[in-house]
Amino acid sequence: MDDLDLELDEMELIAAAAGYCYYNSITRQPSRSLSPRRGCGFMTQVLNGHDDVFREMFRMDKHIFHKLCAILRQRGMLRDTAGVLIEEQLGIFLNIIGHNERNRVIQERFQHSGETISRHFNNVLKAVKSLSREFLQQPHVSTPPEILENRRFYPYFQDCIGVIDGMHIPAHVPAKDQSRFRNRKGVFSQNVLAACTFDLKFIFIYPGWEGSAADSRVLRAVLDDPDQNFPQIQQGKYYLVDTGYSNTEGFIAPYQGVRYHHHEFKGANQLPRSAKELFNHRHSCLRNAIQRSFHVLKTRFPILKVAPQYAFHIQRDIVIAACVLHNYIRGEEGDDWLFLSVEGMKVEEEADGVEQVQPEMVLVSSSIQDQIAFSIRDSMASVMWDDFINKWDDW
């Protein structure tokens, strides 16, 4: 009888232990709609799940994701391993930059070690970055359709090929470098020079400059260094820039000391009162393309909104990779939900991106190229104003 009681007690203990383990497995699961499983269970669950959930987790649609995996596999840029297929490697990377998740969270979600997560993150980062020359391409020399098909902009801006501006990305830097990376708003950041087309694709991206560097200084350094491969500006063509840059050959800035930003043309002061105001308003509307590009980029990849705890060269490469993916998605999916969200939208410039105004003076000693740039701008404004006064079209 004693032996039977002892056997029953042991069975009760085993049952209690099993119940305790099951309880812990439930309570320790992250409170998410998708729970991690062993191996690639989480990845399989997302791949086979609802399209909206997939888009939220990996920041792109399924067919775009699968096509990108095929590119990386066929070109040998990534390889399947015994425990992690390319699909999961890319999923890990996109989950990190698309949600700014820490390594330990990704370990739990994908059920891999921290070393495995880090290794695949760096491999995918290197592979995507290597696609930059393919997906960051020089703009067409023909008039962009966004200008050609809009009477407010054509023919006045018919030689414009894109927009240039600086983008500040929060940076994590050593104490010895913090003074250089502190921008005008007191935030540690890297100043990223970007150029984009009017269909919101990036043409050129140059990250890594300290946040204290003026936008004009970064552009000048790029133009003076042939190794940076800045797209050549053909004769007569130009980019739109803000007042942080000089109005010179290849770069048309707005008039200084004249209304410019969208919010300044509201209410009783809605209509422009001079040729310079009309020029500035239309210049602002066109140049807003780069602010919309920045908005889509940072909304898709929130890691760009914070200072991630990576070595600085990794932070710099993340910016390039994010822009490559931005362009890839734009080219593959015209109806992407984030690009659709900014159609017709005016995105205000970010506060830490506000640039000190460059002095605007046309002196006898200034270069012929500078004088030509001022003359071109004045001519554009004059023709634009005449049409506005005489025809009263949509301004």
- What are the residues facing 195 on neighbouring strands? 164, 204
* pLDDT score, position 120: 98
112 to 78, 118, 120, 321, 361: CA distances (angstroms): 18, 10, 11, 23, 60
324-336 pLDDT, tens digit per residue, is: 999 999 999 989 9
pTM for the whole structure: 0.86
DSSP codes of every residue in 299-365: HH-GGGGS--SS-HHHHHHHHHHHHHHHHHHHHH-TT-HHHHHTTT--PPPPGGG--PPPP----TT
1-55 pLDDT, tens digit per residue, is: 444 444 445 545 454 454 444 334 433 443 344 444 444 689 999 999 999 999 9
Position 56 pLDDT exceeds 90: yes
- The whole-number average pLDDT for the span 50-67 is 97
Cα 10 from Cα 67, distance rounded (Å): 56
* pLDDT score, position 358: 58
Position 368 pLDDT exceeds 90: no
